[in-house]
């Protein structure tokens, strides 16, 4: 089946699935937040994983699961596709995303999101948006949820790099939790601004935890960026100059 037809069928299926499902989630007020999260991710994993595999021919492989700490942390991840917003919750510990407050106003979809562990911010609020991330993020971390943030802010094509923002590191430093870097090549098969999704295997790499004690947010961000960019070049050298590919990087240790 041509990739265009696969994509059309997949998107139609996802709309028909998500609209009623998120509408139902909006009505689950009798569940606790952790119970609701477990219910949603269990069904999301069953449906989206099969939809990606059976309809699109997209599979994923995860390296570095052993690097995840035993207690909640802040995950700083690459953002090159819509895939990671749908699939990361399928294999990571309970996570909360940072999202635009406007998304909560979308009928059915937004109502369901409002029932989930999310950090909603006003992106036009400047420094106040960072305060919202830190306040809401600390509360969710205390409840046992991990917080995932895309430090480059927006989807960035593989082989390119945007400026890493320190918001995620600021939350980690304020909460006294480590940062876990995560990279992948989902944008190779579902690029930003592209409609057609191509089959293939997405490789996800989770790096060693970066401790935040005694560090500033800028220092944590720099260490995270160094690992993530080096790991991208190691795993996916065909998207970069081949001379940049090398051994697996390790975050700088601090005594």
Q: Give me the residue spans of the domains in the chain.
A: 3-244
| pLDDT tens per residue, range 12-62 | 999 898 888 888 888 888 889 999 999 999 998 999 999 999 999 999 999
* Residue 224 buriedness (CB in 10 A; 0-12 / 13-18 / 19+): buried
| pLDDT tens per residue, range 60-84 | 999 999 999 999 999 999 999 999 9
Gap between the Cα atoms of 46 and 34, Å rounded: 18
Query: How confident is residue 199, by pLDDT bands cut at 50, 70 and 90?
Result: very high
- Tokens 């949820």: give the residue: 145
Q: Which residue has the higher pLDDT, 23 or 95?
A: 95
Average pLDDT, the chain: 90
**In the predicted model, what is the mean pLDDT of residues 86-94?**
94
CATH architecture of 3-244: 3-Layer(aba) Sandwich (3.40)
Q: Judge contact between 147 and 119, C-beta under 8 A.
A: yes
| pLDDT tens per residue, range 106-124 | 877 777 888 889 998 877 7
């Amino acid at each position: 089946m041509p990739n265009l037809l696969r994509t059309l069928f997949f998107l139609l299926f996802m709309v028909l699935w998500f609209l009623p499902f998120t509408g139902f989630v909006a009505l689950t007020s009798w569940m606790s937040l952790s119970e609701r999260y477990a219910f949603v991710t269990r069904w999301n994993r069953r449906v989206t994983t099969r939809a990606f595999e059976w309809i699109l021919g997209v599979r994923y492989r995860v390296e570095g699961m052993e690097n995840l700490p035993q207690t909640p942390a802040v995950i700083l991840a690459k953002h090159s596709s819509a895939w990671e917003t749908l699939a990361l919750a399928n294999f990571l510990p309970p996570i909360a995303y940072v999202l635009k407050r406007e998304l909560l106003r979308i009928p059915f979809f937004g109502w369901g999101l409002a029932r989930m562990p999310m950090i909603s911010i006003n992106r036009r609020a400047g420094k106040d948006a960072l305060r919202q991330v830190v306040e809401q993020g600390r509360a969710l971390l205390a409840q046992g949820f991990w917080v995932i943030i895309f430090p480059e802010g927006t989807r960035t094509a593989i082989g390119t790099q945007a400026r890493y923002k320190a918001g995620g590191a600021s939350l980690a430093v304020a909460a006294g939790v480590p940062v876990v870097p995560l990279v992948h090549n989902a944008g190779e098969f579902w690029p930003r601004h592209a409609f057609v999704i191509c089959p293939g295997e997405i490789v996800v790499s989770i790096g060693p935890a970066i401790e935040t004690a005694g560090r500033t947010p800028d220092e944590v961000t720099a260490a995270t960026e160094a690992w993530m960019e080096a790991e991208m070049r190691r795993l996916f050298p065909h998207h970069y100059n081949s001379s940049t590919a090398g051994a697996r990087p390790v975050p700088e240790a601090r005594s």
